[in-house]
Each structure stands twice: as C-alpha cells, then as structure tokens.
A and B are shown apart, each in its own frame.
Chain A
C-alpha cells in the first residue's frame, strides 16, 4: 500500500517524460559528484572556509548562468547550469590528473582542476594563485606536499628540536647544580681554614676582602673561581689564595672533564716585604711538571737549574724534583721538619698527594717581585681536613724565608749572577732607546725632503734667480759712493 500510495512514485514513473531521462540522469550524477567533491574538500581542510565557496561563485561570474552558485553548494541541484561549470577552471593553474569518479565529459573535466580553489581561502597558505607558479619556488613543493597529505604537522620530524631543547634544559639544570657544588667546596675550605680559630685566623689579622668584620671571606670571581685574601702578618704584605675549581656549571666542560680529568686547584700567593726576603730562588714540583716549569718560568730559566739528589743528607721523595740557584739555599729550605711531616719518603705517600708545586722567588716576572707561590690540589668537600699539613706549610715558609739570610759565599755567587742579568737588561734598554732616536731622526729627514719636493716650479725658479743675483753682486766690484755737495 505504501508503495502505491506515495504520489512521488507515480510522478516519477509517469510524469517525467522519457525523452528527458538523459538530462535527468546527467543532473543527478553531476549533483552527486559535486556533493562528493565538496565533502572531500571539507574533510581535507581542517576548517572549511565559506570564502572559498565564494571563490567558486566569483569564478562562475566570469561565465554565464552562474547566479545559482552564489547561494551556496546546496542549490547545485538545478540541472542545466551545471554544464557551464566546465570552463571556469580551465585557465587557472596546473591541471591535476583526472579524478577517478566516472563522470560525463564536460562536467568531469571541471573537477580535475581543484587545487587553485582549494588554497584560496586557506589560512595556512594565503597566496597560491600566481600567474607563473614557477616564480614562487616554494609554492609547487607546498602544493605537492599538501595535496597528498593535507595536514602538515605529522610529516615533519622534530628530532633536532627535541634533542636540542632537552640538551638546553639539562644544561640549565646542570648550571644550578654545578654552581652549588662549587660553592660547597669553596665554603668547606673556608670553614676549615679561614674561619675563627683556624690556621689563617691565627696567622693574619685581616681576613677577607672588605674592611669591617661583616664582610664575607671569599670573593667569587666566576662560577668556578673563588679568592681569599688575608693580610696583617710579619714578613709579608698579604696573602691571596685563588681556588680554581672544575667548571661544573658548564655541561660541555663537565663532559670534557669525564674524558680528560682535571683537578680542583688552590694557589697561594704571598707578597713578601722587600727587606725580609734575601736572594732566594727555589722551586719544587713533581718530575714531569718540574721540567715544564723550568722551561716556561723566566726567572727559573735564567738563574736556576735542576738539582741532583745529594748523597749526604735526607732529601725529598723520589717523585719530586728541586730547582734552585744554589744548592745551599735548597738545603736550607728543605728542613728536617718539612721532610718528616710532608715531603719525606714515607710522609709524602700519606700527606703529599695534594701537592702540585712551590715557587719562591725574588725576581718574579709580574707586578710584585718578591713572592712565594704554593700550589695544591683540593680534596673533596667532605675531606677538606686532609690538606691541613699542606696548608700549614704556608705560614711555616713565610717565617722561614722571612728570617733567612744567605751565607757570604752563596750571596757572592747570586749577586754576580744577578748583576750580569741586570747589565744585560740595561744594555737591551739602551739599544731600544737608541733605535728609537735613530728612527725619529730618519723621520725628520724624510719630512724635510718631502717639504722641499713640494715646492712648486716657480718658487724654485725664484730661489735660483735670487741665488744668481747674490752671486753677481758678490763678483761685481764694490764702488764706494760719497755724497757730493
């Protein structure tokens, strides 16, 4: 009953004339294909933009019978004008390969060229429509990139970004942890040796870099460099301890230090008073380092030599080498106490691990001539007390060198050597001064010559005429004239 009661059924069956079924089928198929195209385009774009349907309408305005499309895609079902769509896209852009849908010829060709309209309203790429697409080199690759996979995000890999951002994050984290570690080491050292009732407090009256009592003990110059200053002691003007720690705050340096190990070092520089230090030139270090120091440091190179181990007395451990100007000075500086406590064979194994080098000199190259330089390596923050004996060497040697007087023999030798060196320096200075004077003279001469050459030809002629006139006057007889009344 339902079948026969529906009026549309009968209408369709009997009122559509047979001769026009072709048109009817054409219209139906084109409508369906259009719908399908629209649906496909909507799913391709993230956000279907109504403006690009207007683009459809705008293009159709160029042709006749295009009013229907301005209303929107839904009104496409009106049969005859669909055929005219075929022309509106032919003059735009590169043709795409034919779509797989089976369509009658004129309308099917129109739907092959769909890239132009696709990009018209796109927020991502607003200007794909160019007369010559080859001019814009980025658009063809973008078109090819977007047509197969319309979403851009998944096709791009972010490996580089992920690796680099994670490296930067770990760098920042390491900066703060490394900074704190270095500060802990420095503070541990200061609390062990520079606070109240410690060795430096008992030896120096002024501790720290400021004036008053509240100033901090340590001066931080970089994330891995800390300085400690002390002053107010006999024989010396002051002491500056510089801690150079590993660059724990810098991730790249830390990685490098895994491969090439590096130690935390502390360097004590004691500025001796002029009247309290005699001609002492002494250095001690481990054997390899001693050779390097001997070549590099100027005053050691000039005055000192590597000393061999003496037969008649106890000496430092075999791992160490001694350089000095005279054997007597070296023997006097390496006392029994020092050998027993730190540098003897047995003691060195236990307590000498942190020792790097000594350098006592009254001919230092630098701002201060008379200096004692001690270099040790720092232990862990927890084991700071291990270097107590090494640090105790500092005030011991200040007193020893401050009181030390050379014997007359040794002094004569050292004085001779220094006088020679002073003469050489003086000669060098003289040479330099003479060269400067000669250069100045040569420059003056050049200037004069240039000035003469600059004179114009006329001036030269005038000069020459003057000269000739003068010469003539000289040769002519001198006539004396008197006044006649």
Chain B
C-alpha cells in the first residue's frame, strides 16, 4: 500500500543518534506498592499483626518487580529490601 513514489526515502546523512530524554524523579509514576509495603510493615511491627508483615513483604516484591531503572536505583533497592526484611522478621513469629 502507498509506496512513496519509488525513490528511496532513506537519507543516511540526516540520521541522528538516539538521545534518551532524561526523566526526573518527580516525573515517574508514583510507587504505590512501595508506599504500601512500608505502611504495612510499620503497622505490622507496631500492632504485631503477622498478616500485615506478610502483606508488606508481598508489596515489596511487587514494587521490586515493577522497578524501571535497576542499575540507577540499586542502592535504593538494597536499602528498601533490608528495611523490609528487618521490619518483618521481627514480627513473623508473633501471635496472629
């Protein structure tokens, strides 16, 4: 369909290399699952609810899975994971 007049449309001289537009941290879509992970973790720790701690772990896993720039945010990731881990491990053997 609709071939452009027969001439080769390519112009190698006009090619520009890819320049990725830098995305600032505020433009990223909000990380709700990370927020819920921390919220559940704190609630579970303070009220000693096992279910809340497990939900926090699940939310943490989801926010990790949805993360975009793994290389740039590696420090953040490691920090978030260790915080989650220590918040939940204290609570996991408490009474339900």
Contacts and interface: CB of A to CB of B under 8 A. Distances in A.
Given A160-B51, A231-B16, A231-B17, A395 B11 contact: no
B11 A175 contact: no
Interface string B9-36: 1111111111011000000000001000
Given A160-B96, A204-B10, A175 B51 contact: no
Interface string A209-221: 1110000000101
A399 B96 CA distance: 67
Nearest to B55: A164
Given A160-B54, A223-B65, A396-B2, A206 B17 contact: yes
A144 to B, nearest CB: 14
A67 B18 CA distance: 92
Contacts of B92: 161
Nearest to A340: B1
Which 3 residue pairs are nearest across A and B when measured between Cβ atoms? A232-B15, A206-B15, A164-B54
A376 to B, nearest CB: 15
A249 B17 contact: no
B48 interface: no
Contacts of A124: none
A389 B13 CA distance: 28
B82 interface: no
Contact of B2 (A168, A206, A225, A337): A337
A233 B68 contact: no
A203 B9 contact: yes
A373 to B, nearest CB: 15
A393 B3 CA distance: 10
Nearest to A238: B16
Contacts of B11: 205, 232-234
Contacts of A338: 2
B61 interface: yes
Contacts of B37: none
Contact of A233 (B14, B57, B58, B96): B14
20 contacts: A160-B54, A160-B96, A161-B92, A164-B57, A167-B58, A168-B61, A204-B15, A205-B10, A206-B15, A222-B66, A229-B18, A231-B16, A232-B11, A232-B14, A233-B9, A233-B11, A234-B9, A247-B66, A337-B2, A399-B9
B10 A203 contact: yes
B4 interface: yes
Interface residues of A, number: 47
Nearest to B49: A160
A329 to B, nearest CB: 19
Interface residues of B, number: 30
A168 B65 contact: no
Contact of A234 (B2, B14, B20): B14
A407 interface: no
| Residue among B15, B58, B62 with the highest chain A CB neighbour number at 10 A | B15
Contact of A164 (B21, B58, B62): B58
Interface of A: 157, 160-161, 164, 167-168, 171-172, 175, 202-206, 208-211, 219, 221-223, 225, 229, 231-234, 237-238, 240, 247, 249-253, 337-338, 341, 367, 389, 392-393, 395-396, 399
A204 B15 CA distance: 8
A211 B10 contact: no
B4 A396 contact: yes
A203 B58 CA distance: 46
A248 B88 CA distance: 27
Contacts of A223: 65-66
Nearest to A163: B54
Contacts of A253: 66
Given A205-B12, A233-B10, A392 B50 contact: no
Given A250-B65, A395-B9, A205 B2 contact: no
Contacts of A172: 61
A209 B4 contact: no
A211 B18 CA distance: 9
Given A164-B54, A175-B65, A252-B62, 14 more contacts: A160-B50, A161-B50, A161-B92, A168-B57, A168-B58, A171-B61, A171-B65, A206-B12, A221-B68, A222-B68, A225-B68, A249-B65, A395-B4, A399-B5
B15 A205 contact: yes
B26 to A, nearest CB: 16
Contacts of A249: 65
A322 B20 CA distance: 32
A250 B66 contact: yes
Contacts of A234: 9, 11, 14
B42 to A, nearest CB: 18
A175 B65 CA distance: 7
